[in-house]
Structure 1
Amino acid sequence: MASPAARPMPKNCLEMAVHWYVQLNDGDADDNQRQAWQRWVAESPDHARAWARVEKLQRQLHGVPMDLALPVLTQAGVERRLAMKSLLVFAALGFAGLGYEFSPLGADYLSATGQRRQVLLPDGGRLDLNTDTQVDVHYSSSERLITLRHGEVRLLTAPDNLVPVPRPLVVATVHGRVRALGTDFNVRLGEKSTTVTVLEHAVEVRSRLAPDIAQRVSAGEQLQFNARQLRPVRAADLNVSAWSRGMLVAIDWRLGDFIAELSRYRSGHLSCAPQVAELRVSGAFTLDDTDAVLANLTASLPVKLRTFSRYWVRVEA
């Protein structure tokens, strides 16, 4: 039997998720509406999946052709007055009104939410995929290119003597390019920037719109960059790659930041109330059991879990 995450997304769930997204972002949503939305999300795993997809994909897409998206919205029964607000979200759902499911458009390697994968590269290197990640791998006669479309990867390059034909090894994101210099490094793609953390040896980073400026990042260092600029190199938190060992390591983190990070590994809605967001968290936590992590928090901090279902959880005072 297919797991809930593997089943096709019901069209009516996607439409309702878009409806709720628009309602909650109108600026005048009241507590009754929010409670009704929470009840809807908690009613079934499909509702939680639809809501999680809306939240994720509205961050990823920047726009779609108006002449294509509006007919889809109206055909799907979404009122035209809502079409402009829900356009990006609904288009990101893969044009559900026409019967299509969202697709990563043929990404070579994927990982689902909460899943981690290891890929052996053609040159003997290893590519680790973190939760909810999409990558393409293209090796040509002039370059070994790994394109990170979404998510986070760790790359352990093959020893030089095992590479038959020396060619630059590059990890590319929408923000720029990271060239490996015989190394072990982590690349995380965010909404507005990419972060590279070097664990061994070094990399060279160039932003997409300023490719003539290169910055070397050595072991123990971290660099954040966007399409226009490279930020200063700083000392790295080397626990950033603990996910590749199935761990989340926090040292004096804000609880709000910790919950936001944990939510990457869990389907559905997981949030933190502002009243407890400034509490501090330290420890090593197993990513394969997020329920146990949340239970650990309630045992060690003055917090409780407000739970409508496994797919809607809020950490509160």
Structure 2
Amino acid sequence: MKAILADAVNWYVRLHDSDVDEATRVQWQAWYAADNRHAEAWARLEQLQYRLGNAPRGAAQTLQAARWDRRSAVKALALLLGVGAVGWQGYRVSPWRADYWTRVGERRQLTLADGTRLDLNTDSRVDVVFDAGQRLIQLRQGEILVDTAQDPRPLSVCTAEGDILALGARFSVRQDSGVSHVTVATQAVEVQAKRMSQRLRIDTGYSLSFTADSFGPLRPMDPDAQAWVQGMLVSVDWRLGDVVQALARYRPGYLGCSKEVAGLRLSGAFNLDDTNVALASLEDALPIRVRRMTDYWVRLEPSGQG
């Protein structure tokens, strides 16, 4: 994987060179599509770039200073990815950024040029490409809800695993490691996995998970699956471990629970804008205690544990 990560860094630098041409972009697209590991490496690189862009001030100043020496900056990027020293070529680097993005715990709603409404969940990034023949939303990370506006041009959401063509739909898409999840609230979408010729239609009220080369089963959608748009997490007879995993997406640092309490079951509604209040509610409702080492390291344990 180190060699693939090294290739990803080289491509990243080439694409951000001021002299980049269309032929280079086409070559990169061919490399990206040739192997699912390439897409995974690219996603890892983009996630690193996003997190560096939100680094504390001291770290950000160090990184900014490094950018004055492009060879040092690229080498540092490789080392942060765990690639190690390789034979880098000297390309000029520009900081990476997405068209629209959210920090951990942040949500954002916006209206695109065609009238489509786009909601971004926590820690999400998208690029948007509209031209005369298409409307393309590229989900780089996280989760979005799309409320499609009427327009003669097709609208698609692209993930690392494939494309979702909107058929006048209101639908959500979540990008996880190696798998995409689609939930359709109204109308329908068609899903095309990267390495499959078959298209699969998802109608109102159903959800699907898929990889680059396989479709999961169609399932009835969770009626509260899109409650995050209103800033709520709704659980109905969930395991505590699953509730904690969902809340962890909305706060920086580590949030987990011990195996002794992970299987406890509960139902409830939690405000995603204040996960500390949600944790206090869990502590009141269940035989657990919230153990805090710092604000960025929190663990749920049995209430009697010392």
Q: Matched residue of 1:251: which SS?
A: strand
* Deviations 1:63-84 (CA, angstroms, capped at 9, x unpaired): xxxx98995389xxxxxxxx7x
Query: Structure 1 length as normaliser, TM-score?
Result: 0.68
Give the equivalent residue in structure 2 for 1:169: 155
RMSD: 2.8
Give the equivalent residue in structure 2 for 1:293: 278
Give the equivalent residue in structure 1 for 2:208: 223
TM superposition shift of 1:235:
1.1
Q: Which runs of 5+ in 1 are unaligned?
A: 15-66, 75-82, 92-99
Q: Matched residue of 1:182: which SS?
A: strand
Assess if the C-alpha contact under 8 Å between 1:109 and 1:136 holds in 2: yes
Distance 1:305 1:132 in 2: 24
1:269 maps to 2:254? yes
Give the equivalent residue in structure 2 for 1:152: 143
1:8 maps to 2:56? yes
Of 263, 288, 296, the match for 1:303:
288
Assess if the C-alpha contact under 8 Å between 2:106 and 2:123 holds in 1: yes
TM superposition shift of 1:6:
5.7
TM superposition shift of 1:238:
2.4
Give the equivalent residue in structure 2 for 1:88: 82
Distance 1:315 1:90 in 2: 37
**Equivalences for 1:1-317 in 2 at 5 Å?**
8-11=56-59, 72=76, 87-88=81-82, 105-158=96-149, 160=150, 163=151, 166-210=152-196, 212-317=197-302
Distance 2:263 2:281 in 1: 17
Assess if the C-alpha contact under 8 Å between 2:143 and 2:175 holds in 1: yes
Distance 1:90 1:235 in 2: 46
Runs of 4+ in 1 over 2 A off after TM superposition: 5-12, 67-74, 86-91
Distance 2:226 2:125 in 1: 17
Distance 2:241 2:198 in 1: 36
* Deviations 1:97-129 (CA, angstroms, capped at 9, x unpaired): xxx99x6x2210010110000110111110000
Tell me which of the two structures has the higher relative contact order, counting C-alpha pairs closer than 8 angstroms and 6 or more residues apart.
1
Identity %: 45
Assess if the C-alpha contact under 8 Å between 2:160 and 2:178 holds in 1: no
Query: Structure 2 length as normaliser, TM-score?
Result: 0.71
CA distance 1:296–1:184, shift in 2 (3 Å): same
* Deviations 1:225-260 (CA, angstroms, capped at 9, x unpaired): 111111221111121110001000111111111111
Distance 1:141 1:88 in 2: 41
Distance 1:71 1:203 in 2: 42
